[in-house]
Amino acid sequence: MKHIKNIARMKEEVAQLKADGKTIGFVPTMGFLHDGHLQLVEKAKQQVDVVIMSIFVNPLQFGENEDFDSYPKDLEKDLHLAEQHGVHQLFIPTAAEMYPDTMSIKMIVQRGADILCGSSRPGHFDGVATVVMKLFNIIEPDIAYFGMKDAQQVAIIKQMVADYHLNLTIVPVPTVREKDGLAMSSRNVNLSHMERQEAPHIYKTLAEAKNKALQGHFKTVAGLEDWVKQALKRDLKLGRIDYITCLKFPELIRPGALTGSVILATAVHYEQVRLIDNVMWEQFPI
Amino acid sequence: MKHIKNIARMKEEVAQLKADGKTIGFVPTMGFLHDGHLQLVEKAKQQVDVVIMSIFVNPLQFGENEDFDSYPKDLEKDLHLAEQHGVHQLFIPTAAEMYPDTMSIKMIVQRGADILCGSSRPGHFDGVATVVMKLFNIIEPDIAYFGMKDAQQVAIIKQMVADYHLNLTIVPVPTVREKDGLAMSSRNVNLSHMERQEAPHIYKTLAEAKNKALQGHFKTVAGLEDWVKQALKRDLKLGRIDYITCLKFPELIRPGALTGSVILATAVHYEQVRLIDNVMWEQFPI
């Protein structure tokens, strides 16, 4: 496995792969790899010749009071895991490499960014879109892989690919969970012991709500959201609900009914971590 | 010459050209072609296998009170001129094709867009960057050609290419002028007869200022700008000065001295038209 820190060097590698007729699968990450990331790699290995992973904790997508500084890191373990799982090339640029002082043109997301995570993280998806557009142009993947835990990110990136006519396919991969149901996230290590014990309630509640919805238990979208809100308020002693929202996916608009491609998403604040999770009515088309 | 209206169709053509190993030169225009545009085509023909021109009056780069509706059009003449000058493919999308309702992610220019034309045309360069990024991804040119009359546009597009790691080269082409020195522009037809007679003073004054500067006539940048301001105020009876600014190019920052890669740029309002022009101390590196 090659480690590459420099953009120009990465572009040379990509140019060589293209010249050799290889297809490229891209797995963008912020590192501190877990099984969720490794599932993206596994999916990529089935579909492309060469898997390129990036590890970059993108400062542009963190707000001032967010956890940029405490975002967990373990590069040595990441290198080992990536190698072990068959990643061919690992792109690890510095922030100065990705955002030199001269950088002046940013992406802004005008729709779908002021709801869900966007409302408590203003500018977050602008930062995501900007870095992903840069990474796509460096890596030039045929397919890029994103986890469905960040469903809103998947929806926005798909929109960006359409808006800018990019020659690549976005493949969303289902959320990987701990045995107790908690969605895998690099941030989980920053939960306290008590918070970690409580956190699986989030998924349990979402899954129960989905089952009830499929059985026709809720008359309205608001009725479903309210049920989840009451259940989480009852079960979470440490977590504070940020939002509970049901939307059509990937349009991210209010659904008329609780059928079809519907997503139920939530975010919960803990002391040092904000967790997100979601369930979908239909499996996202792969 | 092929005319193509549809993005998907254009991308198919491009894919075929790439598969055939052809290099692509791209000349983006808003139509109503003049010798300035045709010089871009001539330059392209020297450097690439296939020349693709786009004609698209981009609504996103016009402000509310600007001349989008009165922007001159003559598609039949454009087709004839493009064909005659050896353009291979002409891409003429509709606004609905380029900006479907779902389009939601825009580019914003955070530096270099609040000066010169940007200060009287807020959002203009965001619209330029957005459409050019889209066009670059549709056409995938090896080289794209831009006229130096729009020097600020050249600087911002070059910055965008750097910021987003695009695999293409920007080639700026010197401004083409009428015999009396007026910079060629599609908008010139919207000058009244009297305005048209006066307008060549703009270039005459810029050229004279440049000569004086090269002879050491001005002690400071402000002194140069002030001299141009007084000269234009004296000579223009119908035109109203928007700005007279001297900057380093392509950085678009205040120069320490009147040497090196310096640009002196101005914009003048007439009744229905806003004209821009500039002179550079050094020939822009081609």
Q: Which of B103, B129, B165 sits opposite A137 (nearest CB)?
A: B165
Interface contact B107-A109, CB threshold 8 A: no
Task: Identify the residue among B18, B125, B165 best suited for mutation to test binding to A, counting A beta carbons within 10 A and taking the highest.
Answer: B165
Q: Could you identify the residue written with the tokens 């001129």?
A: B81
- The CA-atom distances, in angstroms, between A272 and each of A56, A124, A239, A268, B132 are 21, 18, 11, 11, 42
Domain A186-279: CATH class, spelled out: alpha beta
Give every CB contact of residue B40 below 8 A, 6+ residues apart in sequence: B27, B29, B145, B146, B147, B173
- Asked if the Cβ–Cβ distance from A110 to B129 is below 8 Å, we say no
Report residue A143 as tokens.
């397919």
ipTM comes to 0.93
CB A23, CB A48: distance < 8 Å: yes
Confidence bin at A120 (pLDDT 50/70/90): confident
Q: Would you call B37 a catalytic residue per the annotation? A: yes
What residues of chain B lie within 8 A of the CB of A105, using their CB?
Answer: 107-110, 129, 156, 159-160, 163-164
> Three-state SS for B198?
helix
pLDDT digits over B40-72, tens only?
A: 999 999 999 999 999 999 999 999 889 999 999
* Token duo for residue A200: 């699986």
Percentage with pLDDT > 70 across chain A: 99
* pLDDT value, residue B286: 41
Q: Does the distance separating the beta carbons of A133 and B162 come in below 8 Å?
A: no
Structure tokens at A34: 């877990």
Read off the pLDDT of residues A175-194 as tens digits, 9 standing for 90 and up. 999 999 999 999 999 999 99
Question: Is B128 marked within a binding site?
Answer: no
pLDDT the model gives residue A256:
87
Nearest CA distance, B99 vs chain A (angstrom) = 8
Contact at CB, A109 and B110, closer than 8 angstroms: no
What average pLDDT does this structure show over B260-269?
A: 94
Residue with tokens 């012991």: A193
**CA–CA distance from A249 to each of A97, A126, A254 (Å)?**
34, 19, 9
Please state, in angstroms and as integers, the Cα–Cα distance from residue B70 to each residue in A7, A126, B65, B199, following that order.
Answer: 44, 34, 11, 19
Which residues of chain A have a CB within 8 Å of the CB of B138? 165
Give the CATH class of B191-279: alpha beta
In DSSP notation, chain A reads: -EEE--HHHHHHHHHHHHHTT--EEEEEE-SS--HHHHHHHHHHHHH-SEEEEEE---GGGS-TTSSTTT----HHHHHHHHHHTT--EEE---HHHHS-TT--EEEEE-SSSSSTHHHHSTTHHHHHHHHHHHHHHHH--SEEEEEGGGHHHHHHHHHHHHHTT-S-EEEEEPPPB-TTSPBP-GGGGGS-HHHHHHTHHHHHHHHHHHHHHHTT--SSHHHHHHHHHHHHHHH-SS-EEEEEEEEETTT-S--SSS-SSEEEEEEEE-SS-EEEEEEESSPPP-
Residue B160 has a pLDDT of 97
**Contact across the interface for B134 and A164, Cβ inside 8 Å:** yes
| Yes or no, beta carbons of A108 and B110 under 8 Å apart | no
Residues of A in contact with B108 (CB under 8 A): 105-108
Cα–Cα distance between A89 and A26 in angstroms, integer?
10
A109 contacts on B by Cβ (under 8 Å):
104-105
Q: So where are chain B's domains?
A: 2-173, 191-279
Cβ pair A172, A286 in contact under 8 A: yes
Q: Find the mean pLDDT for residues A245-251.
A: 93
Closest CA in chain B for residue A167: B137
B106 and A105 within 8 Å at the Cβ level: the answer is no
Report d(CA A104, CA B86) in Å as an integer: 36
Shortest CB distance from A105 goes to which of B104, B105, B110? Answer: B110
Of A7, A105, A163, the CB nearest to B105: A163
Q: Active-site residue among A3, A37, A201, A217?
A: A37
Rounded mean pLDDT, A264-271? 97
Is A137 in Cβ contact with B166 (below 8 Å)? yes
Q: Which residues of A touch B137 (CB under 8 A)?
A: 164-167
User: Are the beta carbons of A163 and B138 separated by less than 8 Å?
Assistant: no
Q: Which residues of A touch B106 (CB under 8 A)?
A: 107-108, 110
**What is the tens place of the pLDDT at every residue in B91-148?**
999 999 999 988 999 999 998 888 888 888 999 999 999 999 999 999 999 999 999 9
Give B283's pLDDT tier (boundaries 50, 70, 90). low
CATH class of segment(s) B2-173: alpha beta
Residues 6+ away with beta carbon under 8 Å from B20: none
Asked if pLDDT for residue A285 goes beyond 60, the answer is no
- Closest Cβ opposite residue A108 in set B108, B156, B165: B108
* Residue B110 distance to chain A (closest CA, Å): 5
Instruction: State the CB neighbour count (10 A cutoff) for residue A259.
Output: 11
Model pLDDT for residues A131-180, shown as the tens digit of each residue: 999 999 999 999 999 999 999 999 999 999 999 999 999 999 999 999 99
Of B104, B156, B159, which has the smallest distance from its Cβ to A112's Cβ? B104
- Give the three-class secondary structure for B24: strand
